[in-house]
Chain A
Amino acid sequence: MSEDIQAGLAEILEEVAGVAPADATPEKSFTEDLDVDSLSMVEIATAVEDKFGVAIPDDELGNIKTVGDAMSYIQKNQG
């Protein structure tokens, strides 16, 4: 399950921000390690919403700092 989420996230990260899939590991910070800017975070959020069927409101988006944060958010909120 969490492998599927990680792989799906990696796909989105590669498409939106050009992050190599091997770099999309749970401990990585989007902004610090992966050089994802705030608007790309929005694009990642909307892509995650479409792919995983979860809603990420703007105020929740600010709490998602790492790939692992995103993975657990998806896991927790997936129907």
Chain B
Amino acid sequence: MSIRLPAGAPGARVLGLGGYRPRRRVTNDELAQVMETNDEWIQSRVGIAERRWASDDETLVEMSVAAGGKALAASGLSPDEVDLVILASASLTEPIPGIGPQVAYRLGIPRPGAFDLNAGCAGFCYALESASAAIRAGSARNVLVVGVERLTDVVDKTDRSTAVIFADGAGAAVVGASEEPGIGPVAWGSDGDQFSAIEIAAGTGTMTMAGQAVYRWATTRLTDTLLLAMESAGVDPKDIDVFAPHQANLRIVESMTKRLGFGEDVVVARDVVQSGNTSAASIPLALTALMESGEAKSGDLALVLGYGAGLTFAGQVLTLP
């Protein structure tokens, strides 16, 4: 007696994207009233002009439902065509139960496989690979991937080393089967020796970040990952239309862009300027913003890279929906 396996799909692609930005816009000038900082200091160090902070009613679930609903609408699928929900977040302050099932229920997705995934700021790209792999393996037909954060729940709002950077929001993607692969092989990994570089130390409830260590790691150790993501997808760097790395810090975005040799013809996501660092939500939010502004268009080839707490990283090439 042998075990039978499903056939699976030849490829997977992103069918629709959606985002949710909290209502409250927080400028650098507002932060300067509660901590020793100013607009020039923040802009020169992290390139952030403003960020969004979630209000009490903008919970992880509500923001996920909003972003997920938009991604579903953009995909043209009905909720009952989705059979797996993967929710990436690093800011669930009450992790039992996971919120993937509840988000699915609220969106009217009937009884899907649903789970939460924590890979820090790399969560969206880890979830995207999990979705793509599930579709190719035949364990799901269509997958809703959500990246959602309320980092303001875990940062000290008077600590200028974190409060100016981290923010809130949600981004989502619907992934489905395709004849032609629209999501390339993932280049992923982790550097667990640096587990404490970004952490909520036991009993503190407050996130701290070793800024210099993370900056050095991001600007020197991840170039090979980006090159591998393109190489394993059989894509030449000159074929890339859009570069959307995790929006951690504008200087890291610019450094990676320079190291990859991307010129004026590549659209580079700089959503961090308006959104701050929204961790697992940053890549779908940045892609959504580029598509809404018309800077990126359907069919464009995008290179994405998530990286963060763990330390974790994951990058892939994808075709924009």
Contacts and interface: CB of A to CB of B under 8 A. Distances in A.
B4 interface: no
Interface residues of B, number: 13
Task: Classify the secondary structure of B's interface with A.
Answer: helix
B25 interface: no
Contacts, number: 27
A22 B216 CA distance: 28
B216 to A, nearest CB: 5
Contacts of B44: 37
B45 A37 contact: yes
Contact of A46 (B210, B211, B220): B220
Nearest to A58: B213
Contact of A38 (B212, B219, B220, B255): B212
Task: Classify the secondary structure of A's interface with B.
Answer: helix
Interface of B: 44-45, 210-213, 215-216, 219-220, 249, 251, 255
B219 A42 contact: yes
A32 to B, nearest CB: 15
Contacts of B249: 39
Nearest to B255: A43
Contacts of A43: 219, 255
Closest 8 CB pairs of A and B: A58-B213, A42-B216, A42-B215, A42-B212, A39-B215, A38-B212, A37-B45, A46-B220
Interface string A6-36: 0000000000000000000000000000000
